[in-house]
A and B are shown apart, each in its own frame.
Chain A
Amino acid sequence: MPISDEAYAALEAIVGKENVSRNPAVMDSYAFQWLAELVRPELSHFMPRPVAVVMPGSTEEVQAIVKLANKYKIKVKPHSTGWYHWAAPMYDDKDTMQLDMRRMNKIEIDEKNGIAIVEPYVIHAQLHAEAIKRGWTCNIIGAGCSCSVVAAACAYMGMGPGAYYMGGHAENVLGMEWITPAGEIVRSGSLGSGDGWFNSEGPGPSVRGVIRGALGQRGGLGVFTRCAIKLVHWSGRTDWPVTGTIPAYRLPVDETQRAYTLAAPDWDRWADLYYKIYDNELGFIFHRQFNLAGADLAPAFWLMYTDPTKKLSDVPAMVADPEIAELTEEMRISFQIVLSGRSVADIELQDQILDDVLAETGCWKVERFCDKDMAEFTNVYLQRLGHKHINFVWVGGYIGSWMQIGTPDWVKGYIPTAQAGLARDAKDGLLVQCGGDAMMGPGSSYPGGGGVGLEQFVSYDPNDEASTRAGIKHMEDAITDALSIGYPPGKEAMYLEMGHSDDRTFKKWAAAKQPFTFIFQRKIKEHYDPNDIGDRMYNYIPEEYEPAK
């Protein structure tokens, strides 16, 4: 039902009339979310509509809004930059106000200590740009540089192509400022003691352990208003001299850096190569990126993309070109790596060691993609992750299936099934036919190696009913496929869950291997969210589902 005039007036009093809205058209713009059609009735592109959108400008305003939400029993769903449908309200029958955090966009950089303190609407591109000027850089999440740092660090996962060397945000977050659903402020680690933003652990047991784990709370349990992130030394030029023709930007590769595409003859040797990269401590950015276009199409696609005279419709002809066909086979199992050295001597030695490793494993550099033009394109793409439109390039929509994270040996165990599953599901032409392998992902989502994940990019047309239904079927199939080979479900299960009822979801968690996890989280929710203004994006099982001990 619509928000009451009284509650609306109270919101206006907190943030000013210009920063709150209940205009239906504006509300629909917030309900229109990527992936909605996969889980909503009649394949609607709209998630539930919020009753109001409010744009706070400070921690104090967020706190006041949340307290007001408790008074009027309105759910609160914060939204910084959004990514996936769970950024939206989850209920058609429960009033939810959306907090649009765009007014909170300040960055503060402690250059001496390599720490950035950011508000929720600071995106990675902004932080990266400011950091580079100062000789620092930062981990940019896989979802791209247009995403909020706070959302990634505090509320979701925070891994990306640089996580292998730089650490993911789970490792890099140095302090979090959290407004609980009851409206209290919790600050983690040294920040809570008033000692600064440099240590996210403790005092004693780490309070941050309550706030985020493998996942953050995805807007389901309060609002994050600031966080601090550890920066990483940048050995390259601080003026970031980008060139090239839009959208194929190029960044010259500094004398202390290298940008390569490497390839393996088979998945066994792909895994061997990953392990040797870990053991030899090579790599600054390490990601299987280009393959998101699909192994059958990727070389042609990227050569088209970087050639200003070509367009998307040229891809089929390029694929048929014998030279490109040969290249397609050469880099069928490939990935990108950017090396960074402390000095010229250091990078030259890294280069030698990489050559040794390639020789030992029978792998190779893909020369065409290591040429100057492609190396410079690779450099800017991987360093900045600013080409996220590519994710949607084939037909306007994509699903990420699989993406279970583990060691290279473990991950290679699901690759054949993931490939066969996509080839099967795309056979009738309702999903983009790219060869079965459109898997991409980090060389390691955890610093130092050991946490590979491969996400299968399944492209569908969200405005075509048959294609959308094929996408849904693929997600269901991927779950079945994974279970059939002894692997847990992947990202697709998280996507689909958005369309399930609370009851169905709670029952699933109650049947988990360790339901205690969700009992613990329910008790945390009871403490911090007594009026239930959050939603089940913070996973818990209500008492009635509590399994017997």
Chain B
Amino acid sequence: MSRKDLGFRAIFDAPIILFALSLTGLIGALLEDGLWDGLGAALLGTPLLVLAWALIRRRR
């Protein structure tokens, strides 16, 4: 293959962002009640939304 390899950021940016969102949701819902229960679940749900997006839109 002659294509150039992707750099660190191209490979890891998306997983790092998902990691940060999930972790914020996991801990946020533990530290605060009310609004944070919903927000925490929403943040922790982002990986699943991205997964659904990839399975539909990134199929080759």
Q: Is chain B a partner of chain A in the same complex?
A: no
Task: Please list the residues of chain A having a beta carbon within 8 angstroms of any beta carbon in chain B.
Answer: none
